[in-house]
Amino acid sequence: MATKASHWYKDAIIYELPIKSFYDSNGDGIGDFKGAIQKLDYLERLGVTALWILPFNPSPLRDDGYDVADYYSVNPIYGNIDDFKAFVAEAHRRNMRVIIELVINHTSDQHEWFQRAKKAPEGSSHRNFYVWSPSNDKYQGVRIIFQDFEPSNWTWDPDVEQYFWHRFYHHQPDLNFDNPEVQTEIFNVLDYWAQFGVDGFRLDAIPYLFEREGTSCENVPETHEFLKKVRAHVDEKYKGEILFLAEANMWPKDAAAYFGNGDECHMNFHFPLMPRLYMAIRRHNRKDILEILDKTPEIPDNCQWATFLRNHDELTLEMVTDEDRKYMWEEYSPDPRARINLGIRRRLATLMDGSRRKMELMNVMLFSMPGTPVLYYGDEIGMGDNYHLDDRNGVRTPMQWNSGLNAGFSTTNPQELYLPVIIDPEFHYESINVEVMENKPRSILKWTQKIISIYKQHKAFARGSLQMLEPANEAILSYIRSFEDEQILVVINLSEKPEVVELDLSAYAGRKTVELFGGNHFPAITDKPYLLTIGGSGYYWLKMV
């Protein structure tokens, strides 16, 4: 075990960056590594400290690259291995870390392992790189994740005359982790990319590695044991500086299990918290948030949650009750076309009906709750979406740089773009773009830069404990983040109306307060109830001095 790890991920601000969508350097309509390098200065100005880049391996792109056809090279549409290395070097030069994807639950059916498996004799190791069965009644009752697209987790292979197992699309067969040779291959893939200096891996779809009869085939003990092995390997080889960020879309207790005893993943997305932030601002009530935080177990010291508002997938509603899902669908996607699987394929700005105040409020929650914030590209400018596009493509459209051709993303013929730019009247790229916003002191982009810079100056946000206050007014979400001698009082008005709140802060009597966004002095704390008025969708970060 590494003893002197820096835990850099605890202080990080992660930016989710799909190479395909960011900037096209060679005018073929597809973003690429060379293009992303040109935009690193922008990200440095924004203030983010780590870049999570989405799959860039060769792939038939039937699941946007989460269908890997070759783990050892770069899809030529994005560049080559030298471009990748240059990207890592240029990010590092700007003190930004690079996190890449490790998609190991499954491969594309085009991967040579799968093609080889189909030809290999039954019972051979090559055949058993994947999970086969003569009948489709094995592992009965395991839920289907892409339920709008797949009727079963088994698909018949006419060549092999057997079924193969897949938790996602039928063109993404699951690897068989019971086969030791598969495990060895995974170690090799990890070492291959680690040698280029990547700082972390997002472990895609990690709960599904092993299947066991009579279980949900999720989170089984063997999966955790394997993760411990992988972690021990990287800790030993890379001195404990390589991050594992789990994608385990589970209830808090099962999700927290991916931290192990601090010997599995360093970070894991807090999937259950995310939809509850949306519920809370719609219900004008903090109770959904408090409940889920209550259910969230303590985690090992070297671990941290990753928090997020949106990502490249649908806003998933798997970790809510049926009733809450219905509520979320009715409130946030009255048009059924905006729904997909168990979620909503919209971006933050459209979910907030374009309300600047609410976008701010959501970000204030993101940045002040425990966990490392993860931003989704484009949300810092309030980018729109297009749910008339297939699958989750509506939230994966080209980044909007200026009001010129193709939003400044590419010089190609607009018809050749990998996806069309956003031209919805309310969210048209002519006004929602980086250039416009960099020149406007009060733009959402400038505001995002500001919240990031405040966040970085106060360790309590990244590292502090949380003490929940429960004032009588339930529209107010309020807590104290505390780290060493730094205490920050967070007050958030979930309602759209001005509210009054009284907080019991007697334990801090004698301290003065400064509001961090404006720098103004607020009333000093006494042993009497601390009275605040707060505008609709308003918020304060009050530092105690």
* Nearest Cα to Cα of residue 146 among 66, 220, 213: 66
CA 211 vs CA 57, 123, 146, 153, 219: distances in Å: 26, 18, 18, 12, 9
Does the active-site annotation cover 204?
A: yes
Which region among 30-38, 86-94, 248-256, 424-432 touches Ca ion (by CB under 5 A)? 30-38
Is the Cβ of residue 172 or residue 473 nearer to ligand GLC in the bound state? 172
Judged by CB under 5 A, does residue 28 bind Ca ion? yes
Among 52, 66, 278, 429, binds ligand GLC (CB under 6 A): 66
Report residue 47 as tokens: 């203030």
Q: What is the DSSP string of 351-394?
A: HTTT-HHHHHHHHHHHHHSSSEEEEETTGGGT----TTSSTTGG
Judged by CB under 6 A, does residue 205 bind ligand GLC? yes
- The residues, any chain, with a CB within 8 Å of residue 24's CB and separated by 6 or more, are 30, 31, 32, 35, 398, 409, 410, 411, 412
Least distance from ligand GLC to the Cβ atom of residue 312, Å = 6
Least distance from Ca ion to the Cβ atom of residue 205, Å = 28
3-state secondary structure (DSSP) of residue 68: coil
Report residue 439 as tokens: 């020149």
Query: Binding string to ligand GLC for residues 46 to 65, with x set by CB under 6 A, is what?
Result: -----------------x--
- Separation of alpha carbons 226 and 209, rounded Å: 9
Torsion angle (degrees, nearest 10) of CA 511, 512, 516, 519: -160
Specify whether the CB–CB gap between 422 and 386 falls below 8 A: yes
Is the Cβ of residue 205 or residue 505 nearer to ligand GLC in the bound state? 205
Specify whether the CB–CB gap between 30 and 20 falls below 8 A: yes
Judged by CB under 5 A, does residue 30 bind Ca ion? yes
Least distance from Ca ion to the Cβ atom of residue 26, Å = 4
Among 16, 24, 101, 313, binds Ca ion (CB under 5 A): 24
Query: Binding string to ligand GLC for residues 230 to 269, with x set by CB under 6 A, is what?
Result: -----------------x----------------------
Is the Cβ of residue 16 or residue 157 nearer to ligand GLC in the bound state? 16
**Per annotation, catalytic residue among 247, 264, 385, 391:** 247
Q: Which does 264 bind (CB under 5 to 8 A by kind): Ca ion, ligand GLC, none?
A: none
- Separation of alpha carbons 351 and 343, rounded Å: 12
Among 150, 199, 204, 380, binds ligand GLC (CB under 6 A): 204
**Per annotation, catalytic residue among 204, 264, 360, 379:** 204
Query: Binding string to ligand GLC for residues 100 to 139, with x set by CB under 6 A, is what?
Result: ---x------------------------------------
Burial of residue 26 (CB within 10 Å: 0-12, 13-18, 19+) is: middle
* Nearest Cα to Cα of residue 398 among 23, 34, 93: 23
Among 13, 20, 32, 277, binds Ca ion (CB under 5 A): 32
Max Cα separation, the chain?
A: 79
Q: At what angle do helices 287-295 and 273-283 cross, to 10 degrees?
A: 160
Specify whether the CB–CB gap between 401 and 23 falls below 8 A: yes
Is the Cβ of residue 29 or residue 538 nearer to Ca ion in the bound state? 29
Q: Which does 205 bind (CB under 5 to 8 A by kind): ligand GLC, Ca ion, none?
A: ligand GLC
Amino acid at residue number 538:
G
Judged by CB under 6 A, does residue 168 bind ligand GLC? yes
Is the Cβ of residue 20 or residue 270 nearer to Ca ion in the bound state? 20
Burial of residue 456 (CB within 10 Å: 0-12, 13-18, 19+) is: middle
Sites for ligand GLC among residues 313-352 (CB under 6 A): 313
Least distance from Ca ion to the Cβ atom of residue 56, Å = 12
Judged by CB under 5 A, does residue 26 bind Ca ion? yes
Does the active-site annotation cover 185?
A: no
The footprint of ligand GLC on this chain (CB under 6 A) covers a number of residues equal to 9
Is the Cβ of residue 176 or residue 410 nearer to Ca ion in the bound state? 410
Residues at the site binding Ca ion, with contacts judged by CB under 5 A? 24, 26, 28, 30, 32
Catalytic residue list: 204, 247
Residues that bind ligand GLC (CB under 6 A): 63, 66, 103, 168, 204-205, 247, 312-313
